[in-house]
Structure 1
Amino acid sequence: MLRHRWFGSLVNRAVALVIGGILLSALLVTVAGSLLSRAELQQQAQSQVQTIAALVAEELDDKLALRLEALNHVAQSLTMSDQVLKTRARVLVRRQTALQHLFDGIYLVDENGRVVAEHPEAFRQTGLSVRDREYFQRVSSMLTPVISEPYRSNYQNKPAVMIAAPIFDHRQRFIGMIGGAILLEGDNFLKQFIGLRIGETGRLSLATRSGIVVADERDGRIMSPVRVANPVLQDAMGGFEGTLETRAADGERTILSVQQMSQVPWFVAASWPAREALAPITRTLDAFVWTLLGVILLIAPLALWRFSRLMAPLTALGEQIRERHLGMRSEPVSVSGGTEIRQVAEIFNTVMDERDEVLGSLAEREAFFRSLTQSAPIGIVQTDVLGRIEFANPAFEAIIGLPAEELTYSYLSKRVHQADRSQAVAGWKMAIRNQSVFRGRLRLETTDPDQVVWGDVMTAAIQTPEKALGTITVVRDISRELEVEEALRDEQQRAETILGVLQEGVLMADITGVIRYANDAACRFLGTEGECLLRNFFELVSIENEEGPLHRDRFLAGEDLDSLYVTLANRLGQSFAIDLTMLHIRRGREDERLVFVLRDDSDRRRQEERLSWEATHDSLTHLLNRRAFNASLIKCLGETSRQDASSVLMLIDLDHFKPVNDVGGHLVGDDLLKRLAELFRESVRQSDTVARLGGDEFGIILPACGLARAEALAERIRSAVEGLRIEHDGRSFGVTASIGLTELTTEDSGPREVISRADEGSYIAKSRGRNAVVVVSSPPAG
């Protein structure tokens, strides 16, 4: 109550408005400044964190690249026989002074994975086997230098990273490897970089994409799993690189930058707590708040005093107006004070003068109104504020069937049917109270009890500045119109019922594309779920056929369409195969309409696609069949002259497949064929063609592959086929492959010639004992 009384004063409101304006302006300036400053400071902090992370990642890459290159250079200089390598191992390791400065430990390992020499010898690793170590398996299989994942070394179980390079003899045969170990807990370049600080509490860490911490400023984190609760670090293990604001494990907001390394699948993570990075903003806001509080304490009393002086004339004016209204004052109110107060006083004096003139002319206007309504073709009734009829014109008398003498001073509500009376009375009262217009369709009582007259009724209040004088009601007989509307609704309902149960979509649009009617099936095609009306058909969907997109102008200018096969796509991403029919109605006129009938044609097209797929694929392995394979080979032969590298045909003939069928049964044989088909698909590129040519024979087309790469691929496939085994009823079943390779040349006259050469290679492979790859050279150019 006290708050309402205080705000009842304009002076207090004005003071509150001034203080509120100051607060709002200050708030807007503070928020805008804070946001801009925070954004700028955050951008600088992110740039700083990103720069540090990038520099560290680049420097670590350089350090690892230096060690990898040095180790590979030493490995290349150790070209000798395996016996000499083992005999001179210790001498060779002791001579590698440069490597001793780069690594915590140096190891020479033979081809069987056994350490034959080391430095320093205090590590006591000589004679131990590292055959199961990941780095040895990668070096011996890939025959290239590698940087290992972090692992627990045999030396006191300390975490380490191994950089290893293969050693070859004079015949390029793998005879061992030389490796350099970097202890993750040692005093080396990793510890130097990770020890860098960002601000006071920012830190750096190094981890692998497989989720292992390589180095971290905090103790005890090496070789522990990465905390994947942080989504940015989880994305970093998938290859993400960038700078974001995220939350640390303890919930604190942190600026985190991730930089991927190029030498190894590792990443550097640099983090800086946001509270430290954005601390200057907090201090600025505190100072601003105290300054604003001081300004308000100074402005509030000054504004209260000034507004009290300005509003004093308004109080005097209000007292004079009250006296004039009560009749205690006959002369006009005095004009004083500010411009606005003087204007209010002048307007009040003018209104009072005009009121006297209005009352004088009211009687004249009423007489004019009565003469005007006498000849009106619609019923007009005037009532007082209680709803009693004061005047009714002849048209209203004809509608009700009673003369004016019987209608005068009777209640207008009595002329409304009992069922609609309460609605009418409530509407008339609201029209008087709100100075609005009431409109409704009401049943009227006439002298004939068997006749029902429907009237379109509109009632408005008759008002003066002081009070309501009554109402004016206009009544139009619409009984015949309602009968026609009912008949039209029945016809429309029947039509909509028929269209609603149709599976085909039916819609009608004007020439601009605005939908005037659509059944449920059409709305489903448009993706609007029943909200089609008054939306633009050509904006909701795109339609195209074999010739390309079909636009609005094509439908307007073209003839009627019958069974046009098109594809319709809506904004929900749904696509439908449609049999489209389109008709023009009232063509060329302003009210022209387009009627579209949309029939779902998906089943027929899916059937065609299924038949097409079955005609070109093997039903068991789902690979291409011989027919489709020949077509692909012909196409590849036609492109041979335009390719930089030669295309290669590979024919695979399985060895010992018949015993699998005879012993294990055809189900085992079919299972083996399906697994081999999957193996072939996974072994080649997406652009290569894999087919089953019949029985246990397969073909692969390798466009622009080159014979050397194709031969290496064939060896991998042969080895993979040899290693594939199926267990059934306690027995193991498998096959090998005899593979023939040949290049496609411009001299080849057709696919038969190329297939014959590759087939010859597979026969040669079988004659040599099977399980082999044979390359058949193409004949020299004539």
Structure 2
Amino acid sequence: MTPWARTPAPTDSPGWRWPGSLVLRLMLVALLAVAVSGALSAWLASLASERESIRRLVGQQTEEVEVMARLLASKIEQSQKVLRTVAEGITPDMLNSPSSLEWLLQQGLPAVQFFDSMQVARHDGALRVNLHSGRLEDAANLDPSERDALRRTLTGGKPLVSELVAGRTAEARVMFTMPLRREDGSVMGVVAGALKLQSQGLLPPSMTLPARDDSRLIVFTRDGTILSHPDPVRILGNVRDETGLGPVYTGWLQQAQPVAGRGTTEVLPAHIVSMAGMPLPQWFVARVSDARAMLAPLEGAQRKAWWLAAALIGASMALLAGLMVWMAQPLAQLCHSALQLARGPRGDGIVWPRASGEVGALVQVFEGQVQHSAQQRQQRDHLEGQFQAILENASVGIVITRLGILEVVGRQACQMLGYSAEELQGRPARTLYASDEDYVRLGERVQAQFVAHGAFDGDVCFMRKDGSPVWARVQGRGVRAHDTAGGTVWILEDLTAAREAQQQQDWAAIHDPLEGEGDGVMLFLDLDYFTVVNDVAGHDAGDDVLRHVARLLESQVRQIGWAARLGGDEFAVVLPGCSLARGQALAEQLRAAVQAWEPSYQGRSFTLGVSIGLVVLDASLQDVPSVLYAADMACYDAKRAGRNRVETRHADQAAASGRMALGPV
């Protein structure tokens, strides 16, 4: 199985996770929707209930006033029937005989006792009898309105119900008249009977019982005079002064509607007013109810219903929130796992939720992405390893720049320039030049060659860390062809020694050779702690170390000199035509290269060093042994000074001292 092959899904659960902001916003919207819809439903139900209650109250009250109006109309009709019975018992002769008429009214007709007072008049208007509460009274005591009612009946020949005969409240009464006719139908007189308002035959006080604080039953005439009221003080008052009823009555008068027996109801903000009329006496029956008091039981029931609705809405919201949190768990777990993946792109140890639907599809995508990333990471690591090996082992310097920044600097380039990789990477390329003018001038050359040839090839003078110049042959090419913005790869080959040798040859052609200061330098190298490798890892490992050091020296100096193994762990490097400063720089470069290499044998790493003695070649050193002796003495000085360093000696210094045995190495 390949390292990136899909592994079985873990069996453990990612655990409970709090939903993310998107789910929380959706939950908030859903809960608000439930709350709003629940409240709206409860409000509509309450409104419908209130309207239905009002409709029932209106129907009930309208029916009540209609029944009361019919009851009063029947009383009026009954009173007229009683009066008709009295009229049928009066003959023409009795109108001319007051004594017989008085006897008939007082003792002969029981129906006469139904009325509180009675009057009989002839067709000429002469009043024959004026009976009040069973007693005869003088005709002069007859109220003008009663006399007018008698006259109108004689003239019109029709029964009438008079307007209210005023007086004190206790004496207020209504007169009923009935024409007396001869056999030929002509009017021979009129009989009238009066009933007090509060009599049993008309509007008894019991009619308004039981009294209620929230409702009033009122009977009033067309002109607004109150005939019956729960408050006796209001009788004979005007209905316009009645709270609730006054505006309705005023509106009815403005519309000039006829008195009808059918009831009507108006619902006002504070009252419910129902009216029904009696056409014959032109009276009205009205019921005025306090709307708030009438709806108080309904409001109490509505409050209970609202509390119940609020409890149900709250329970529904809690249940919905719990269900949404539970349903959102796979998504919340996926989000948590995705954040873990973002923090650690390797995806190690991440537990993905097991779910179906959209979350399951996303899980498959993430798992595939993790596998693909692992494959790419392995390939990248392999390429990086190869790239790093090239940078570490290339015999030439490698530098990659982008937008004027040193992004990658190889080991050989670092040694050539006298810097460590950490000191150069990320720094401006300007760091490697002596002045801004040199940097700008070289930039113009590079730009011109890239435009003409798509690459750069030429000699460039850099400035080492110690300030000394170093010449190199530089070849540059874009990481992507014809696109320097994506980065540029530079190959650096050290030409410093070759240029110095050429310069010395040119100088020797025009100067006396005796005036020169030297013909180059020689390095004597002795490995430090090499015996540790032999003793611990064996001679095979030691031989491998010697071969590697030989190759390293060869790669470093092949362009400017040559290297040779003298025996054991000792090497010599000859750099003809090399100046002292350049030789010291190259010696330090070789020392750093050996120290940076850490060989590993039999599972153990070893650290090496190299002590280097440097001797300037001049005319005083006539043969090879004297040169080697002088370089060996300088190397001895490096050993004695602490190893892994470079010591320089001149020929006269080497000749003055004798060779001493080296300590353990």
Query: Could you tell me the TM-score, scaled by structure 1's length?
Result: 0.37
**Larger relative contact order, structure 1 or 2 (CA cutoff 8 Å, min sep 6):** 2
Query: Could you tell me the TM-score, scaled by structure 2's length?
Result: 0.43
Larger Rg: 2
